[in-house]
Amino acid sequence: YPSGNLAIIVVRDKKRLICIVQEDKLNNAEIQAVFKSNGRNTCYYPNGAVWINMNIQGGQYLDQAGNRVRRWTWPNSVVSSGAHVLLSPIFISLNRHVGVRILGQDKITVSFLAMGQQAKFNVGTKVQVSDIGRLPSPARLGKDELLLLAIRVRILWLFDRLRGCLNFPSNEQWDKIKPPAYLITQTLKVLQLCTASDISDELRSSVRAIVNA
């Protein structure tokens, strides 16, 4: 950044490349986006809430309250052809210097602009056929499995809430506590499975109600 703070980091973890976008802050800079070469990408709002979450099957765009605004699937995902939802181009600004453009699975660009100069990073990836063969189909999950997953996530949320109550007895501080990233990720996974699985609308509503209670 013009301030001298590190904005974008690209590191290698074994065979995987990871691109990390940090906020413009000298100490304890929060992560604003993470892009991995295995197709798992996440962008965050300034308040830490998940903004965009993507995997090798598709992605979701959420508002700051955690409500899904839209979702999509990639053309070569394991979701059946009839269930595909096409991606509409997405352009977001993580901050005044860094923006993200999503046009396709292999057309995801992180742009950095400052002092009249620009740098672009292509962080998209293309799923290989061999990768698709190793993925379990969401349609294989039955009623009991989905309900158990939803209940498990709900219990984890309750435990996290309990820890917050013990650490911060005053309820005025509860809304300021950010849920752990792993909990948000697991919640999104259950919702994605619920959407993609071949189940009744009634069961789908029940699973969502359990997770979002």
Domain ranges of the chain: 8-122, 143-212
**pLDDT at position 142, please?**
65
One-letter amino acid identity for 206? S
What does R_g of the chain's alpha carbons equal in angstroms? 19
**Percent composition of the chain: helix, strand, coil (DSSP 3-state, to 5):** 35, 30, 35
Q: In whole numbers, what is the pLDDT of the chain averaged over residues?
A: 80
The pLDDT tens digits for 101-140 are 999 999 999 999 998 899 999 999 876 544 444 444 444 4
State the alpha helices, DSSP H only, in 86-139: 129-133
Give every CB contact of residue 96 below 8 A, 6+ residues apart in sequence: none
pLDDT value of position 163 = 74
Question: pTM of the predicted model, to two decimals?
Answer: 0.59
Q: Count CB-CB contacts under 10 A for residue 125.
A: 20
> Model confidence over 7-40: pLDDT tens digits?
999 888 777 889 999 999 888 889 999 999 888 8
Q: How far apart are CA 165 and CA 102, in angstroms?
A: 39
- What number of residues does the chain have? 213
Residue 125 identity (one-letter amino acid): T
The H-or-E segment that residue 53 falls in is strand 50-54
Q: What is the DSSP letter of 197?
A: S
pLDDT given at position 83: 53
Average pLDDT over residues 58-67: 89
Q: How far apart are CA 184 and CA 179, in angstroms?
A: 7
Return d(Cα 51, Cα 31) in angstroms, integer. Answer: 12
